[in-house]
Amino acid sequence: MKESTASSSRKRKSWAKWTIHLFPIPALIVYGMFVLYPIVAALSYSFFEWKGMARGGFIGFQNFVTLFTTEPYSSMFWNAFKHNVLYFVLQMVVMNGLAFFLAFIIYQKVKGAAFFKAAFFLPRLLSVIVVGFLWKLILNPNFGTLNVILEKLGLETLQKAWLGDPGTALIAIILVNCWFGLGFGVLIFLAGFQGIPSELVEAAKLDGAKGFTLLRTIYLPLMVPSIMIMGILTFIQSFEAFELVYAMQGSMGEPYYSTDTLAVFFYRLAFGSSTASGATAIGLGSALATVLFLFILVCTTVFLRLANKRDVQM
């Protein structure tokens, strides 16, 4: 009887052990359908000729060659790529720099720190589309809040058609994105500051370190992992920029493609526009999506290896 009970108990434990492995299956199915399948499909589509929505014959790397060597596709690709690079650089300098500074101030346990954390993160709770339309109204040259405030302050010379001027349109969108993502950066950096052992800080203070010296010698080296994380996330987000640009300037990257990004360019190619040739639009769009995916994958892998190498050295 005891042997039968022990055998039954072992079977139940064995079954329970194997049952645990079944729980990830639904998530894997969803991930495969909505992430892996589109990636594989885009890669395969890029090697075929397309006649509208009908797939034609296999043409190898011709879509990639067309994308990089045939006008207007090649010039539009590099124009959009340049804008994505600017997107990344400005976000790293403005958004992450300001987030680091604000996180450092909150870390000093200033009065109302909890309120500031919530206030900085609040925009992140809004939809990107809502944020885009809201700021489009604020930046309106006729009745927008920004120009009205400038007029009230007697700064009429600074008034602009912010989204209608090719020189300011992309900068305005990037700064709006910085406002939107600032709170997330503050939380990441604040978590990094709070993970620094207080003993190290106190020891540095006893040795006479203070102000900028303390920040340079103690805080910055120990904050490198958080800075690397935000750098990688900012890089990925910058080269996937689409929703905010689309909400504020549409699919043509107005004015005169001055706000075009690779994701917006892909949207035009894949779903049709005046710049898509029809027969090869899906193939060219898939080729662009593949190039963008591989570029982000390779750069992110390099960044992660550098971050891991630094962690090992430390």
For the stretch 204-255, pLDDT in tens is 777 766 767 777 777 888 888 889 989 999 999 999 899 999 999 888 888 8
CA atoms of 291 and 108, how far apart (whole Å) = 44
Residue 233 has what pLDDT?
A: 92
Identify the pLDDT of residue 48: 80
Q: Residue 54 carries which side chain, given as an amino acid letter? A: A
- Per-residue confidence band for 197, with pLDDT thresholds at 50, 70 and 90: confident
- Is residue 202 very low, low, confident or very high in pLDDT (cuts 50, 70, 90)? confident
pLDDT of 9: 58
Domain 75-310 CATH class label: mainly alpha
As a whole-number percent, the residues of the chain with pLDDT over 70 amount to 88
Average pLDDT, the chain: 82
Q: What is the pLDDT of residue 36?
A: 81
Check whether 132 has a pLDDT greater than 80: yes
pLDDT at 2: 46
Q: What pLDDT does residue 274 have? A: 43
Is pLDDT of 107 > 70?
yes
Q: What tens digit of pLDDT does each residue of 252-276 get? A: 888 888 999 999 998 888 876 544 4
> Which residues does residue 55 pair with via DSSP β-bridges, in sequence order?
50
Angle at alpha carbon of residue 119, lines to 114 and 124, rounded to 5°? 120
Report which of 127, 123, 132, 141 is spatially closest to residue 245, judged by C-alpha positions.
132
Query: How far is it, in rounded angstroms, from Cα 116 to Cα 113?
Result: 5
What is the number of helices (H) and of strands (E) in the chain?
A: 17, 2
Nearest to 240 by CA among 271, 269, 262, 265: 262
Q: Which residue has the higher pLDDT, 193 or 34?
A: 193
pLDDT at 80 over 90: yes
If one compares 266 and 117, the residue with the highest pLDDT of the two is: 266
pLDDT at 99 over 50: yes
Rounded Cα gap, residues 240 and 83, in angstroms: 12
pLDDT tier for residue 277 given thresholds of 50, 70 and 90:
very low
Instruction: Find the range with the poorest average confidence among 47-61, 67-81, 114-128, 253-267.
Output: 47-61
Tell me: the pLDDT tens digits for 152-186?
Answer: 888 888 888 888 888 889 999 999 999 999 989 99
